[in-house]
Amino acid sequence: MFDWKSEITWKDGVVPPDRQLEDREIIAISYSLFYCMCALTVLGIAFALYLVVFNVMNKEKRTIRMSSPKLNGAIILVRC
């Protein structure tokens, strides 16, 4: 049973902090990784634009027409 009059003992004799402590640390990535990711991003955007052009140029073909080229183009452009 807990008794309010008894003395409280803390682990290692240290009172725990009454809030969460924050240790801020600056983390950086290497330039090579940054430029590699930028290149992949540019390639992805270029590929998306290629797909839009492909849809527009081939919208009369049956397979493209059945896949709703206007909606596909809108989805591709919104994702960029």
> What residues contact 38, with CB distance under 8 A and at least 6 apart?
none
Q: Are the CB atoms for 65 and 59 separated by under 8 Å?
A: yes
Number of domains in the chain: 1
> Which phi and psi (to 5°) does residue 34 adopt?
-60, -50
In a domain, 9, yes or no: no
Say what the pLDDT of residue 33 is: 96
Q: Is 20 among the domain residues?
A: no
What is the chain's pLDDT, residue by residue, as a tens digit (80 residues)? 566 666 777 778 788 778 888 888 999 999 999 999 999 999 998 988 888 888 888 878 787 777 777 777 777 777 65
12 — alpha (psi -120 to 50), left (phi > 0) or beta?
left
What pLDDT is stored for residue 18 in this prediction? Answer: 83
Asked whether residue 38 is domain-assigned, the answer is no
Structure-token pair, residue 56? 């527009």
- Identify the CA nearest to 55 among candidates 79, 42, 63: 63
pLDDT of residue 3: 64
- The answer to whether the pTM exceeds 0.85 is no
**Domain limits at 69?**
48-80
